Structure 1
Amino acid sequence: MRRFLDAIYRVSGGIAAALILGICLLISAQILLNLGARILGPGWGGTIPSYADFAGFMLAGASFLALAYTLRMGGHIRVSLLTQKLTGRAALTAEVLCLLIALGVTGTAGWFLVSLVQESVHYGDTSSGIVPIPLWIPQTGVAIGMGLLILALLDTLVETIRTGGPVLPDSAEE
């Protein structure tokens, strides 16, 4: 099960990285089109329709799909000023309490994100750019990313309780 969950987190992180690469390629293509228009004349330029919308949708997807992978790799900023001084039962209690609070917050956000996707499907919401994109498409990526973060937090909570101590890598040493 551990390998399966880690694979899910890696795939999600890989998709997030691919979306960031997609943003770079899309914006670079638009820059080249703008540059062509300036150097070679207006006939050589152009605009990629709704490129800013597409870049924004990819950024939202990348940001949320990277959350679970980042958590499990110890990449999230954690304020450990107090918890690093705790030992034994107190450290375990603090870690479990923090994970439970995080689960409550992300669970609530996940619930509302799924509701937002359902509402967008129900009303047929589309983006307002040149290319109308059904909003449920980018919103689904965000909701999936939040769902994976909830899974990663739950996984971390279970593993923390099972091992009797914090399991996330400490990024404070960097």
Structure 2
Amino acid sequence: MWPRLYKSTDAVSRVLAWISGGLIFLIAFLQLFEILLRNVANISLSFVWEFAAYMHIAAIFLGLSMTLRTGGHIQVTLLATVMPRVFQLMSTLGGLLFSGYLSFALIQLAWNWGATGRTSGTVDDIPLVIPISFVAFGAVMLTVQLCLRLFHILLGTPTEIQWSSGPSAE
């Protein structure tokens, strides 16, 4: 059961990381396209800058779980080398508490915005439940990865995996 849960969570996290990367490229493409249209045809796409902000925060949160799983988050090397197991356990517990609370708060926020029909209040009047749902899902996946990381630490198994084995992997 546990290996299947690990693999499933890693697979979802990997898909979310690819989506996150795709969103970053989409932001760049949309902004370049908007700038080009504005300069060449004097047409402005009013939604681009607002969508870019929502896609950016969604990309950050959707990429968190795979970043954790591949060891990409910032770590305090001095503390990690002095007492590595204790540091891993304490930092994971602290991260789990914070991430759990954040996930709960974001789910509540998404639920409330969905129930009340809250919109952005701009010309495009975007329902805010859409972007906040992606952010909440990313936070929940980080919380799940932190739970699994805690089990890895307690069992003494490796907590991180390789993102890629290709020539560009660091």
- TM-score, structure 1 length as denominator? 0.85
Cα distance per residue 1:19-69 (max 9 Å; x no partner): 111101110111101221xxxxxxx22111221110011001101001001
Q: How far did residue 146 of structure 1 move?
A: 0.1
Partner SS, residue 78 of structure 2: coil
Count matched residues: 159
Q: How far did residue 9 of structure 1 move?
A: 1.2
Aligned position for 1:30 = 34
- 1:142 equivalent in alignment to 2:135: yes
Q: How far did residue 139 of structure 1 move?
A: 0.2
- 1:127 equivalent in alignment to 2:124: no
Q: How far did residue 18 of structure 1 move?
A: 1.1
- TM-score, structure 2 length as denominator? 0.87
Distance in 2 separating the partners of 1:118 and 1:143: 10
Say which of 84, 104, 110 aligns to 2:81.
84
Say which of 155, 160, 164 aligns to 1:168.
160
Decide whether the 8 Å contact of 2:27 with 2:52 is kept in 1: yes
Say which of 42, 45, 51 aligns to 1:45.
42
Distance in 2 separating the partners of 1:168 and 1:109: 23
Distance in 1 separating the partners of 2:39 and 2:33: 10
Aligned position for 1:60 = 57
Cα distance per residue 1:125-162 (max 9 Å; x no partner): 00122211110000000000000100111111111111
**Unpaired runs of 5+ in structure 2?**
162-169
Decide whether the 8 Å contact of 1:50 with 1:129 is kept in 2: no
Aligned position for 1:105 = 98
Decide whether the 8 Å contact of 1:15 with 1:62 is kept in 2: yes
Aligned position for 2:144 = 151
Instruction: Say what the alpha-carbon RMSD is for the aligned residues.
Output: 1.7
Letter of the structure 2 residue corresponding to residue 129 of structure 1 = T
Aligned position for 2:167 = none
- 1:19 equivalent in alignment to 2:1: no
Cα distance per residue 1:64-99 (max 9 Å; x no partner): 00100111111100112122122xxxx323311211
Identity value in percent: 32
Q: Point out the structure with max Rg over C-alpha.
A: 1
Letter of the structure 2 residue corresponding to residue 98 of structure 1 = S
Decide whether the 8 Å contact of 2:31 with 2:48 is kept in 1: yes
Letter of the structure 1 residue corresponding to residue 58 of structure 2 = G
Partner SS, residue 88 of structure 2: helix
